[in-house]
């Protein structure tokens, strides 16, 4: 389906964000994928080159206003506008409030929440020129029911739920929703497995995590990407200001 033909998207992050970028490109969108890790950016570039997708890779620190402004400007200049933003960039420090340093706390808030503000603040004027658009923010089930030892991350994801509702109030024909995944097979989950299940291999930890979900397994980035594709499409034209869980029944 070329449901996104003629649309231009910016997608941040190289985990779930990469799967979403690929899905949008498969749907006909021109996609600018932004990541800060060189190895992940190179993987995205290889994916785009081997598949022939309209997927362009930009190195971008999403906490840097100048870098974000540059990517938006380049996107609009090269492709004529901007229709879709997916904010998936995130970091996941471990620790309670007492254990988390102030720099780690502030960095988590700036990457996970502040970047969404920056993208909206700088990109909404471009979306207005197109008559509207779509913003999708990647939150987490941790924003609803957090485990111990992830104070900064869980707080940031709860803030994304609120920021999504705030952004949805804008009367600009811009729909804004968030997605809250459960356990998804990503490098971030692998790091969590290494931290919280040190007596298990990563794959064995994934099996344990999967047992907490109704299907008996963890999810895939592609499953999250399908929900993002729906929310970005005209099929979701009356969906805004909401959070959509793709958590395998974890919170049920």
Question: What are the CB-based long-range contacts (under 8 Å, 24+) for 208-213?
Answer: 209/183, 210/183, 212/183, 212/250, 213/182, 213/183, 213/247, 213/248, 213/249, 213/250
Structure tokens at 181: 């995944």
> Which structure tokens are listed for 8?
């231009």
Active site residue 117: no
Catalytic pick from 117, 144, 153, 244?
Answer: 153
User: What are the start-end ranges of the H helices in 112-186?
Assistant: 115-129, 151-168
What 8-state DSSP symbol labels residue 60? Answer: -
Active-site residues, by number, are 153
């Amino acid at each position: 389906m070329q449901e996104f033909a003629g649309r231009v998207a910016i997608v941040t992050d190289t985990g779930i964000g990469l799967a979403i970028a690929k899905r949008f490109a498969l749907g006909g969108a021109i996609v600018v994928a932004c990541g800060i890790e060189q190895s992940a950016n190179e993987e995205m570039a290889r994916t785009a080159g081997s598949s022939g997708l309209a997927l362009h890779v930009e190195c971008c620190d999403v906490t840097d206003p100048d870098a974000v402004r540059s990517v938006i400007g380049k996107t609009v200049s090269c492709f004529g506008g901007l229709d879709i933003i997916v904010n998936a960039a995130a970091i996941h420090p471990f620790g309670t409030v007492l254990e988390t340093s102030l720099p780690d706390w502030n960095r988590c808030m700036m990457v996970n929440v502040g970047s969404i503000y920056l993208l909206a603040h700088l990109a909404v004027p471009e979306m207005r020129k197109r008559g509207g658009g779509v913003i999708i923010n990647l939150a987490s089930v941790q924003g609803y029911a957090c485990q111990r030892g992830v104070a900064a991350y869980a707080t940031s994801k709860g803030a994304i739920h609120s920021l999504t509702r705030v952004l949805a109030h804008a009367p600009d024909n811009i729909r804004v929703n968030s997605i809250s995944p459960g356990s998804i097979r990503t490098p971030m989950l692998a790091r969590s497995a290494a931290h919280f299940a040190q007596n298990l291999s990563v794959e064995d930890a994934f099996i344990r995590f999967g047992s907490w979900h109704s299907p008996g397994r963890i999810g895939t980035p592609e499953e999250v990407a399908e929900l993002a594709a729906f929310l970005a499409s005209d099929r979701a034209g009356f969906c805004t200001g909401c959070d959509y869980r793709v958590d395998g029944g974890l919170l049920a």
